[in-house]
A = this chain, B = another copy of it.
Amino acid sequence: MSQARHDVVGIGNAIVDVIAHAEDAFLAQRSMAKGAMTLIEAREAEALYAEMGPGIEMSGGSAANTMAGIASLGGRAGFIGKVKDDQLGAIFLHDIRAAGVSFDTPAAKSGPPTARCLIFVTPDAQRTMNTYLGASVELGPEDVDEALVASAKVTYLEGYLWDRPRAKEAFRKAAEIAHRASRKVALTLSDPFCVERHRAEFQELIKGPIDILFANEAEIRALWQVADFDAALAATRGLVEVAALTRSEKGAAVLTSNGLAEVKAEPVSRVVDTTGAGDLFAAGFLYGLTNGRSPADCARIGAIAAAEVISHVGARPERPLKAFVAERLG
Residues 301-322 (chain A) with a chain B CB within 8 angstroms: 314, 316, 318
Nearest-Cβ distance from residue A156 to partner chain B, whole angstroms: 19
Report chain B residues within 8 Å CB of A113: 87
Q: With an 8 A cutoff between CB atoms, is A57 at the interface?
A: yes
Nearest chain B residue, comparing its CB with the CB of A91: B57
Report chain B residues within 8 Å CB of A57: 56-58, 91
A54, B87: Cβ atoms closer than 8 Å:
no
B55, A95: Cβ atoms closer than 8 Å:
yes
Q: With an 8 A cutoff between CB atoms, is A94 at the interface?
A: yes
Q: With an 8 A cutoff between CB atoms, is A232 at the interface?
A: no
Nearest-Cβ distance from residue A115 to partner chain B, whole angstroms: 12
Q: How many copies does the complex hold?
A: 2
Q: With an 8 A cutoff between CB atoms, is A26 at the interface?
A: no
A contact face: mostly helix, strand, loop, or mixed: mixed
Nearest-Cβ distance from residue A75 to partner chain B, whole angstroms: 16
Produce 1/0 per residue, A93-124, CB < 8 A to B. Answer: 01110110000000000000100000000000
Nearest chain B residue, comparing its CB with the CB of A101: B54
Produce 1/0 per residue, A239-264, CB < 8 A to B. Answer: 00000000000000000000000000
Cα–Cα, bound, A61→B120 (Å):
24
Produce 1/0 per residue, A40-81, CB < 8 A to B. Answer: 000000000110111111110000000010000000000000
Cα–Cα, bound, A307→B53 (Å):
22
Q: With an 8 A cutoff between CB atoms, is A86 at the interface?
A: yes
Q: With an 8 A cutoff between CB atoms, is A88 at the interface?
A: yes
Q: Which of B52, B88, B95, B99 contacts A87 (CB 8 A)?
A: B88
Q: Which of B50, B96, B98, B314 contacts A94 (CB 8 A)?
A: B50
Cα–Cα, bound, A311→B247 (Å):
32
Nearest-Cβ distance from residue A118 to partner chain B, whole angstroms: 11
Nearest-Cβ distance from residue A312 to partner chain B, whole angstroms: 8
Q: Which of B21, B54, B91 contacts A95 (CB 8 A)?
A: B54
Report chain B residues within 8 Å CB of A52: 94, 98
Nearest chain B residue, comparing its CB with the CB of A50: B94
Cα–Cα, bound, A99→B56 (Å):
13
Nearest 4 interchain pairs by C-beta: A57-B57, A87-B87, A54-B95, A54-B98
Q: 4 other contacts beyond A55-B58, A56-B56, A57-B91, with CB at 8 A cut-off?
A: A50-B94, A53-B98, A54-B98, A57-B58
